[in-house]
Amino acid sequence: THQPMRVAVIGTGYVGLGTAALLAHIGHDVVGIDIDPDKIAALQSGQVPIHEPGLDDLLASVAHRLTWTTAYDAVSAADVVFICVGTPPGPDGSPDLQYVASAAANLAPHLNGHMQVIVNKSTVPIGTGDYVQRLLEEHAPGYDHGRHQVVSNPEFLREGTALADSLYPDRIVLGGAEGAVAKMTALYAPLIEQTFTAPATAPRPDGYTRPAVVRTTLQSAEMIKYAANAFLALKISFANEIAGLCERVGADIEEVATGIGLDQRIGHRFLQAGLGWGGSCFGKDTQGLISAGQEHNYPMPILEAAIEVNYRQRRVIIDKLLRQLKTLKGKKVGILGMAFKPDTDDLRDAPAHDLIQRLTQLGARVTAHDPIAMPRAAREWAHLTYQEAAQVEDVFDRADAVIVATEWTAYRLLDWTAMSGRMRAPVIIDARNIIRTPLDAELEQVGRSTVKGQVLPS
C-alpha cells in the first residue's frame, strides 16, 4: 500500500550507501550520485567500495531498484534528495562544509516544479539546514519555498552494524517544515510500520517493535545528532576516568561498570573502559559542539574534559608498557588490531595509529595485525613504521610485549596461553580488557589490577 518514491542519494560513503540500500530495500527507486567516477564504475559493476557486513548482499538484492551515476540530472526526477557527503574536520577542528556546499550547489539547478524534499543526512553543524536552503535559493533558478524544503534527518548508525541500526532504529528524527516532514514520514512508512521483509543478514531483533518518530525544528534535529554522539563519547570517557581511579584504589572497572550499569537511569552500554573512542564521529562531534560553543562565547567544559580523558588513555597504555619494559629501544612490540573498532576496516582516529607512532618514536620495532584493515593501513598509514603480520602468530613470535588495541572477536578467541608461549618474557597490555582466561604472563588491563599467573574472574 506504500507509494514507492524516487530518491536521489548524493555521496556513496558509509552513510550514502547505507541510505541507498535501506531505501531500495523498503521499496523505493534509488539513484546514487557521486562525483568520483571510479566509485561509480565500481558500484555499477557490483563492487562495494567499503567494508560493512551484509551491505554487499543487500545492495545486490535490490540492484533492480538502484542505479549509479556521476550526473546530477538524476535530481530532477527525485521526490527526495539526500545529501550524504563527508564533513571531515577542517584545520580548526570544525566540520568542513565544502562537500555539502558543492552538493547543494550542484543539485540546485536540477530542482524542478514538483514537491521535492532535500535532506541533510551528513552530520552537519547546527544551522547548516538554513545554509543549504540559502544555497538552493541562490543556485536554483526556479527555487520555490513551498515546493523545495530542507529537512534534517540525522543518522545514528554504527559502522559494523550499519544495516541493523538503520533497519531497526530506536528513533527517526525529522526536523523541518511540516509539509516536508510529512513527505519524509511517507517515505519512511515501511520502516516506521516495519512492514518490510527483514533481510537474512539483518534479522529483526527479538522484542523490537517500531521506531519512535521525533518531529522537530531543523535546529533541534541537528542538535540531537551532536548531543547524542557527545553523550555517548562522554559516557565512555567517564568509564575510562573511573577506571584509572579503580586501578589506584584496588577496585575493578568491569565490576563497577556492571554495578552502575544496572541502574536503569545509567544503563550498561557504552561504559566499556579501555583505549577510548576513535572513528569518524565522536572526536569530530564533540569538537564540533565545542566550536559551536566558542562561536557563541559559551564554554563546554564537560566536552573538553571528555576529549582530554579519551586521548589520555592512549598515553596511559604506553606508560603501562614502559613500566613493564623500562625501555622500548630495540624491543619488539606487537599490536593486535588497527581498525578503530571491530568489524570495520575504518582507520580514522584509530588509537592503534597513535600507539604505533609513539612506540616507534620510543625506539620499538612494531609488528601489527588486523583481521581486515591491513590492506587499508598499507595505503593510509604509509607514514608509519611497522611490520605487517601475515598471521596473528607473527605478532607474538619472540615479541617483548603485545598490546591489544582493538577487541576483535578473533582475538578474544585466541589460545592466549599458546600465544604468550611464543613471546620472549610475555608482557601483554590488554587495552580492551578482553582476556578472561588465566594466563602466565605479565598482564595489564585497564581499570583492574592483574597479577602474574592469576586466575581472572570470567
C-beta of 446: minimal distance to ligand UDX in Å? 10
Quote the cell numbers at residue 94: 570544525
Q: What is the DSSP string of 211-226?
A: -EEEEE-HHHHHHHHH
Residue environment code for 186-221, b if the CB has 16+ CB neighbours within 10 A, otherwise e: ebbebbbeeeeeebeebeeeeeeeebeeebbebeeb
Residue among 156 and 208 whose Cβ is closer to ligand UDX: 156
C-beta of 275: minimal distance to ligand UDX in Å? 7
CA distance linking residue 348 with residue 358, whole number of Å: 17
Residue among 325 and 347 whose Cβ is closer to ligand UDX: 347
Q: Catalytic residue at 84?
A: no
Residue environment code for 428-458, b if the CB has 16+ CB neighbours within 10 A, otherwise e: bbbbbbbbeeebebbbbbbbbebeeeeebee
C-beta of 439: minimal distance to ligand UDX in Å? 22
Residue among 74 and 335 whose Cβ is closer to ligand UDX: 335
C-beta of 276: minimal distance to ligand UDX in Å? 6
- Conformation bin of residue 122: beta by default, left when phi > 0, alpha when psi is -120 to 50: beta
Residue among 129 and 337 whose Cβ is closer to ligand UDX: 337
Q: Residues 29, 31, 37, CA angle at the centre, nearest 5°?
A: 160
In the chain, DSSP finds a helix count (H) and a strand count (E) of: 17, 14
Residues contributing to the site for ligand UDX (CB under 6 A):
155-159, 229, 232, 236, 270-272, 274, 276-279, 281-282, 340-341
H or E element that contains 380: helix 374-380
Residue among 95 and 278 whose Cβ is closer to ligand UDX: 278
Q: How many CA atoms lie within 13 A of 455 on its CB side?
A: 1
CA distance linking residue 267 with residue 52, whole number of Å: 27
Specify the pairing of strand 29-33 against strand 116-120: unpaired
Q: How far is CA 448 from CA 42, 168, 261, in A?
A: 47, 35, 17
Q: Residues 143, 148, 150, CA angle at the centre, nearest 5°?
A: 125
Question: In sequence order, what are the beta bridge partners of 198?
Answer: none
Residue among 94 and 280 whose Cβ is closer to ligand UDX: 280
Residue among 158 and 215 whose Cβ is closer to ligand UDX: 158
Residue 258: strand, helix, or coil: helix
C-beta of 170: minimal distance to ligand UDX in Å? 10
Q: Which among 157, 281, 402, 403 is annotated as catalytic?
A: 281
C-beta of 44: minimal distance to ligand UDX in Å? 27
Tell me which residues are annotated as active site: 281
